[in-house]
């Protein structure tokens, strides 16, 4: 049991380190048309919004969820929160409350669609319709439209 805990900690440290290095690289080379020293100075001197403080990335409990399950949106959020560096370690504006990333599409208020009077499945079983055509089209050879999925086909053999 102890071996699993140590390996999980090691994995978390590796993830934290990789995320911090990625944040360091992105923020160091992000600005266009200015020298590296100017970009680093600008990043170090950037202030945080009220309700957050500039701390080392690994010391921000509010961003732990973003580090545990990194997503594209989560990494973009971490990049936007960068506020400087301490001995080559990335610092972020740590909010006082945990971060939650919500999806852009919220739940719908409309009820799910229902099949009015039309049956979804035929009333009979075992009847196979064999056509080598796109619905309503002309017969096509197998592989004529490689971007489409073949649900079934028959051979003459």
Average pLDDT over residues 91-95: 88
User: Is residue 154 in a domain?
Assistant: no
Give residues with Cβ within 8 angstroms of 64, minimum separation 6: 98
Answer yes or no: is 117 within a domain: no
Q: Domain range spanning residue 91?
A: 2-95
Question: Can you give the pLDDT at residue 71?
Answer: 84
pLDDT digits over 98-125, tens only?
655 443 444 445 454 454 444 555 566 6
The pTM of the full predicted model, rounded to 2 decimals, is 0.37
- Percent of the chain exceeding pLDDT 90 equals 0
Residue 42: inside a domain:
yes
Stated as kind and residue range, the H or E segment containing 6 is helix 2-28
Total of domains in the chain: 1
pLDDT at residue 101 in the model = 47
Higher pLDDT, residue 115 or 63 = 63
Name the pLDDT band for 3 (thresholds 50, 70, 90): very low
Q: Is residue 140 part of a domain?
A: no
Give the mean pLDDT of the chain: 66
pLDDT, residue 145, reads 77
Element (H, E) at 90: strand 89-95
Can you read off the two tokens belonging to residue 90? Answer: 């990335």
Residue 127 in tokens: 């009847």
Q: Which long-range contacts (CB under 8 A, 24 or more apart) does 76-81 make?
A: 77/101, 78/19, 78/23, 79/23, 79/26, 79/27, 79/30, 81/52
Q: What is the pLDDT of residue 130?
A: 53
Q: Is residue 40 part of a domain?
A: yes
């Amino acid at each position: 049991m102890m071996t699993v805990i140590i390996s999980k900690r090691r994995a978390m440290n590796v993830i934290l380190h990789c995320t911090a290095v990625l944040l360091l690289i992105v923020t160091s080379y992000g600005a266009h048309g200015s020298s590296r020293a100017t970009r680093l100075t600008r990043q170090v001197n950037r202030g945080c919004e009220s309700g957050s403080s500039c701390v080392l990335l690994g010391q921000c409990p509010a961003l732990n969820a973003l580090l545990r399950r990194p997503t594209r949106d989560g990494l973009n959020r971490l990049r936007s929160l960068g506020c400087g560096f301490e001995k080559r370690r990335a610092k972020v504006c740590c909010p006082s409350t945990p971060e939650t990333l919500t999806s852009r599409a919220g739940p719908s208020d409309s009820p799910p669609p229902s099949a009015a009077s039309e049956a979804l499945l035929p009333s009979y079983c075992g009847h196979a319709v064999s056509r080598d055509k796109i619905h309503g089209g002309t017969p096509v050879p197998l592989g004529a439209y490689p971007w489409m999925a073949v649900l079934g086909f028959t051979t003459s053999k």
